[in-house]
Amino acid sequence: MASHFRSTERQGSEDAERQLDVIVSEAAPQEGAPSPDDTGAFLAAATVGSEDAPEPESPEAVHVVTASESEGAPEQPERSSVYAALSGDDAPAVSRTGTPTVSFKNVTLIYPAQPNKPALDDVSLDIYPGEFVFVVGHSGSGKSSLLRLITRELRASSGQVIVAGQDLTKMRNKKVPYLRRQIGTVYQDFKLLPDKTVYENVAFALECIGKPRSVIKAQVPEVLRLVGLAERMQHFPDQLSGGEQQRVSVARAMVNRPPLLVCDEPTGNLDPAISLGIMKLLDLINRAGTTVVMATHDREMVDSMRKRVIALEAGHVVRDQERGGYGYYGAL
């Protein structure tokens, strides 16, 4: 199954390298800051896009990168200028050949509580390996519903949802956990376990899929260091800022190196400067080959990033635009 997720090209890795350099050099020197070796590990992992690239065996080869800019730093760069630098015309173009990572074919979703008002109505779309897709639209337009169909939290009422070559509308429940191992999820409310430390929250994701202790002990500190939280490993979620909590949830989503990342308003609870750090992290993860599908209300971010934009209105796709903008809606 996993091979269907993989990009057939090493897309954007040079971009990722350049951006990573910028971010690493922007970061104030601190203990636990990424070393050049981290960059190497990140870029080595970026080759997961290649069919013939061997899966890294080494537990050191975790591919999440640092969100190095320190939160609350006094001099935050202006958001729009940073986003402009991240996007630009040289953004990786994704080949639209081969098997899509996500394919919706005439999908309708009706919640039993609203039988006459489909949450999604005859939606068809394809998302290919390595794409970064924003899903935008009014509150209630169906964004979360669309994402929850991808993770099989919901099953379509009609049509087909195909993820990694598997028809989720037919998938047996007992197979769903195997699907979820391939999909990292990040939510607006972080969904961290309050009684577990930062370390334990990330470790838990690996324990659930039966990873040996030796792998957990190696990978968890590594991924936390790469998201800039090496020194907070023994803290509990309520001892962290919102941005730090969200970085933990990104680390948890990525520690198993899933090829698909589904994010539902990951910056919705964060102030603009902190959102920028999370967005940079997601952008770099994408440039290393991970497909990202992200619902958001953040107009400025969407306009600046110039990624593919799918706009929903009352359960219909009303726009699907390459390097699009947020568009003009009333109050959202």
Ligand X SMILES: Nc1ncnc2c1ncn2[C@@H]1O[C@H](COP(=O)(O)OP(=O)(O)OP(=O)(O)O)[C@@H](O)[C@H]1O
Using CB under 5 A as the binding rule, whether residue 151 contacts Mg ion is answered as no
Strands 260-264 and 291-295: parallel
* Site stretch for Mg ion (CB under 5 A), options 41-49, 107-115, 144-152, 205-213: 144-152
Closest CA to 304 of 82, 134, 137: 82
Nearest distance in Å: CB 188, ligand X: 8
Coil, strand or helix at 298: coil
Strands 132-137 and 158-163: unpaired
Q: Are 290 and 260 in contact (CB under 8 A)?
A: yes
Q: What is the DSSP letter of 133?
A: E
Binding track, positions 90-129, relative to ligand X; x by CB under 6 A: ---------------------x-xx----x----------
Strand ranges for 70-156 from DSSP E: 102-109, 120-127, 132-137
Nearer to ligand X, 142 or 237 (CB): 142
* Site stretch for Mg ion (CB under 5 A), options 137-145, 230-238, 282-290, 316-324: 137-145
* Site stretch for ligand X (CB under 6 A), options 142-150, 246-254, 255-263, 270-278: 142-150
Binding track, positions 152-191, relative to Mg ion; x by CB under 5 A: ----------------------------------------
All residues at 6 or more sequence positions from 91 whose CB lies less than 8 Å from its CB, including other chains: 12, 15, 306, 307, 323
Nearest distance in Å: CB 328, ligand X: 17
Strand ranges for 23-131 from DSSP E: 102-109, 120-127
Q: How many residues bind ligand X (CB under 6 A)?
A: 12
Residues that bind ligand X (CB under 6 A): 111, 113-114, 119, 137, 139-145
